[in-house]
Structure 1
Amino acid sequence: MADSKADTSHKKIFNKAYDFTKADEIKAQGLYPYFKPLQATDGTTVQIEGREVIMAGSNNYLGLTNDPRVIKAAQDVISTYGTGCTGSRYLNGTLDLHLELEEKLATFMNKESCVLFSTGYQTNEGSIQTIAGRNDIIFSDRDNHACIVVGTQVSNAKTVRYRHNDMEHLRTMLEKSDPNAGKIIVSDGVFSMSGTLAKVPELVQLAKEFDAAIYLDDAHAVGVIGDGGRGTASVFGLSDEVDLISGTFSKSFASLGGFIVGDRSVIEYIRHHSPAHIFSASMPPANVATVLKSLEILQEETWRLERLEEISNYMRKELRNLGFNVWSSQTPIIPVVIGEMYNCFRFWKDLFEAGVYVNAVVPPAVPRGQALVRTSYMATHTDEHLDKILSAFKKVGIMHGIIDKNGRSLIDVEA
């Protein structure tokens, strides 16, 4: 067989692919931290490359991915519904399970209606482009997740990006906008890299003042924070003031898929007009059953949210006491700033060798010079797990000159 590169290298469209060598360079140095295959997992610990490590980089916030009740719920429905739906919700892909989950999520979130999507990414990408049209303006936080950014890009609406959580800048942009245009403010509820919350009270105030709607992506908030796990707006008692709230099932709900809740008329419009909903196969039965059981457990076992908050506060405090910069995290997502990209990769590797798995995050996902390791925690982490994580961070942090033995930071990066 002819060499594939030789066959296609003359085609300019592929030049960018052949010019991309960064990943191979990092692999050659033994520092590549991505696409690591998990060989086994019980949730809090995983087997990677034949070694057991503590998982401190998962979004399995409630620790339900390996819960026997959740596994059984998924298994039980397969004998009735099979393994997939083989069609979109619009045509042959709607099960009574989908309708049950939509009803229960709408009730849980205290909204009139809900529609499911096949992934969390599609939820935001598909809903934003559907709601915001040619004569509308989207005001989007610059740190919003990629799926929101793509949703704004494929929308026919004008998009204005305001500085991250900068309400004065948002006000300025709103003041400059066409007063007759439809307006929607879109923001992550919990920002996935920093673990900080959107300034919901200020967003609500500005939305009222400028006749704008509010859309919160609560992928890292529903089942994590707020009243009974109802997300960011509920932290402030402002759920009724937020028009649309989206979420995902790939985190606290131990599955895959997404949803958006709001007024019935708005949700019905999305249901009948969103290409991402209409032209995608629906969530498989086992996925839906997993979410239904996870939602039930979330409401019955309130200790999981309490334990998650306890762990988050403890780890944030202790990492700061060691001298690490954890930005202004307010959630189970706790970043630890390392600095330069290659230093971050080396730190990640030594932490892995010390028995702790986290996520290396480098530019452009974070500002240059502020590469970090993103840690996140589960309600099922034990005190022993937490102490081992902290011990590993202390050892590796001192080794790399990030902190000293007296709990002082030795790197100079902007908080």
Structure 2
Amino acid sequence: MADVFARCRMPDTYDLVRDLGVYPYYRAVRERPGGGEVVIDGRVLVQAGSNDYLGLSGDERVKRAATAAVRRLGTGSGGSRLSNGSLALHEELEERLAAFLRRPAVMVTSAGYLANLSLAALMAPGDAVLGDRLVHACLIDAARLGGVRLRRYRHNDLEHLERLLEATAPDAGRLIITEGMFSTSGALCDLPGLAKLARAYGARVVMDSAHDAGLLGEDGRGAAEHHGLEDAVDVQTLTFSKALGTIGGAVAGPREVIAYLRHYARPMVFTAALSPPCAAAALAALEIVAAEPERRARVRAAAARVGGELAALGYAVVPSDRPVVAVPVGDDLLCFRLWRELFDEGVFTTAMIAPGVPAGQALIRVSLTAAHTGRQLDRIGAAFAVAGRRLGLLPDSRRLP
């Protein structure tokens, strides 16, 4: 008889990277003494891996709102939204998000992952669901939950997408799913091209704005606003754990679609409602996003500076003003070694390997925030210079001891 626990074995490389001291995951942060810094193992490091893009998780106004909600409503919701966990606070947040995003209706969920999983209720066997090769795991899981095969087109490759659309059954429902700004690279989706294909083939477009809502566009509504094509996106999802600095998620779209999801999306119906402090924090953060566009400007300036500096050093970085700077490495072990060198130089980044990125395309992800100071940005650039030379990654550099 087979034992299901028999498959619970880590690969040999797991022990290798731990023995080498380059294992980059589950590093416990003890304190966050100030914007852009964390304390790990008694050391103060520059936090260059956080998606708290606007630095709002530590904003005093956001913390006060969360604290007040705990005092008034407690720490938990006590049930799902459908049963007994709905709060007036949730409804206020939904109304404010709908106004901010300029969408007819919004459904707030307990996490961004659950917002995207809720999309499964829009899918049925026989539908053609087509997703960019780099979409997040939660969108892949939504297709699995919806009982459909996700056909994945090469990243931002519209010719490949069109071939897949042409191959779909004439009577199939068609759904194109994409991220607005891709979490692994900071690249934007080609929304103008997607919109044109969606119109031609009668497809609906879902955009995951986890990494672009609050950041892109004149008013911070995301990649669709940036492109001037908000009407081309039928459903928009987002998470509160990035620009809004807390936990939670939302689905925004037509009223009839949101009403349907409220009653048929399993992640919504069977999950405890968003906690009061997180809902209150998101509300406060949303006000700051609308009132303080200079935060977005600071993030863009920091990203442009760091991306430009890393490219000048010789890293294969594509400079932009978007807050995710992807530093390609390729080999997993080399990626872990670079992560460790940066860590030792006082910079805490994110090492990404498969399945987070395609196999053989490991990278270091640097995330910039509005909280980073000029001194901290200096430390990031200096750490990459030292680490890259030490590992022989930079052109015309000799390996340092």
Shift of 1:343: 1.4
Task: Tell me what 1:88 maps to.
Answer: 80
C-alpha distance 43-57 of structure 1, shift in aligned 2 (>3 A): same
CA distance, structure 1, for counterparts of residue 104 and residue 358 of structure 2: 40
CA distance, structure 2, for counterparts of residue 329 and residue 67 of structure 1: 26
Shift of 1:396: 0.9
CA distance, structure 2, for counterparts of residue 363 and residue 210 of structure 1: 32
Q: Deviation string for 1:262-321 (max 9, x for gaps)? A: 111111111111000000000000000000000001111111011111111111111111
CA distance, structure 2, for counterparts of residue 279 and residue 179 of structure 1: 35
Shift of 1:405: 6.1
* Matched-pair contact (CA < 8 Å) for 1:186–1:216: yes
C-alpha distance 368-135 of structure 1, shift in aligned 2 (>3 A): closer
Opposite residue 350 of structure 1, the aligned amino acid is E
* Matched-pair contact (CA < 8 Å) for 2:301–2:321: no
Q: Deviation string for 1:356-412 (max 9, x for gaps)? A: 010111233333443211100001211111111101111111111111468x9xxxx
- Partner secondary structure for residue 90 of structure 1: helix
- Partner secondary structure for residue 30 of structure 2: strand
CA distance, structure 2, for counterparts of residue 367 and residue 105 of structure 1: 34
* Matched-pair contact (CA < 8 Å) for 1:195–1:330: no
CA distance, structure 1, for counterparts of residue 88 and residue 12 of structure 2: 49
Task: Tell me what 1:44 maps to.
Answer: 36
CA distance, structure 1, for counterparts of residue 320 and residue 272 of structure 2: 36
Whether 2:183 is the aligned partner of 1:195: answer: no
Opposite residue 36 of structure 2, the aligned amino acid is T
CA distance, structure 1, for counterparts of residue 201 and residue 329 of structure 2: 40
Task: Tell me what 1:229 maps to.
Answer: 220
Where do 5+ consecutive residues of structure 1 fail to align? Answer: 1-9, 409-415
Shift of 1:135: 3.8
Q: Deviation string for 1:161-211 (max 9, x for gaps)? A: 211111001011111112222111001111111110110000000000111
Opposite residue 160 of structure 2, the aligned amino acid is H
Task: Tell me what 2:111 maps to.
Answer: 119
CA distance, structure 2, for counterparts of residue 11 and residue 97 of structure 1: 49
Whether 2:292 is the aligned partner of 1:301: answer: yes
Opposite residue 27 of structure 2, the aligned amino acid is K
Give the ranges of 4+ consecutive aligned residues of structure 1 lying more than 4 Å apart after TM superposition: 327-330
Opposite residue 349 of structure 1, the aligned amino acid is R
* Matched-pair contact (CA < 8 Å) for 2:206–2:235: yes
CA distance, structure 1, for counterparts of residue 354 and residue 204 of structure 2: 32
- Stretch moving more, 368-377 or 354-363: 368-377
CA distance, structure 1, for counterparts of residue 10 and residue 304 of structure 2: 44
Task: Tell me what 2:275 maps to.
Answer: 284
Whether 2:249 is the aligned partner of 1:247: answer: no
- Partner secondary structure for residue 54 of structure 1: strand
Whether 2:211 is the aligned partner of 1:217: answer: no
Task: Tell me what 1:150 maps to.
Answer: 141
Choose which of 281, 306, 317 in structure 2 pairs with 1:326: 317
Choose which of 386, 394, 398 in structure 2 pairs with 1:403: 394
CA distance, structure 2, for counterparts of residue 404 and residue 336 of structure 1: 15
- Stretch moving more, 343-352 or 201-210: 343-352
* Matched-pair contact (CA < 8 Å) for 2:350–2:365: yes
CA distance, structure 1, for counterparts of residue 211 and residue 3 of structure 2: 40
CA distance, structure 2, for counterparts of residue 47 and residue 250 of structure 1: 20
Choose which of 77, 85, 102 in structure 1 pairs with 2:94: 102
C-alpha distance 34-109 of structure 1, shift in aligned 2 (>3 A): same
Task: Tell me what 2:368 maps to.
Answer: 377
C-alpha distance 356-200 of structure 1, shift in aligned 2 (>3 A): same
Shift of 1:74: 0.4
Task: Tell me what 1:62 maps to.
Answer: 54
Output the TM-score relative to the length of structure 2.
0.96
CA distance, structure 1, for counterparts of residue 329 and residue 12 of structure 2: 24
- Partner secondary structure for residue 18 of structure 1: coil
CA distance, structure 1, for counterparts of residue 329 and residue 152 of structure 2: 28
Q: Deviation string for 1:17-46 (max 9, x for gaps)? A: 135443233212111110000000134000
Opposite residue 44 of structure 1, the aligned amino acid is G
Choose which of 127, 130, 135 in structure 2 pairs with 1:139: 130
Q: Deviation string for 1:36-75 (max 9, x for gaps)? A: 0000013400000110000011001000111111111100
CA distance, structure 1, for counterparts of residue 2 and residue 319 of structure 2: 47
- Partner secondary structure for residue 81 of structure 2: coil
Task: Tell me what 1:387 maps to.
Answer: 378
CA distance, structure 1, for counterparts of residue 273 and residue 146 of structure 2: 23
* Matched-pair contact (CA < 8 Å) for 2:352–2:362: yes
Choose which of 339, 343, 348 in structure 1 pairs with 2:334: 343
* Matched-pair contact (CA < 8 Å) for 1:117–1:283: yes
Count of paired positions? 397
Choose which of 153, 172, 177 in structure 1 pairs with 2:163: 172
* Matched-pair contact (CA < 8 Å) for 1:221–1:231: yes
Q: Deviation string for 1:230-250 (max 9, x for gaps)? A: 111111100112100000011
Where do 5+ consecutive residues of structure 2 fail to align? Answer: none
CA distance, structure 1, for counterparts of residue 350 and residue 179 of structure 2: 20
* Matched-pair contact (CA < 8 Å) for 1:53–1:357: yes
CA distance, structure 2, for counterparts of residue 397 and residue 361 of structure 1: 17
Opposite residue 82 of structure 1, the aligned amino acid is G
C-alpha distance 122-239 of structure 1, shift in aligned 2 (>3 A): same
Shift of 1:330: 5.8
- Stretch moving more, 283-292 or 327-336: 327-336
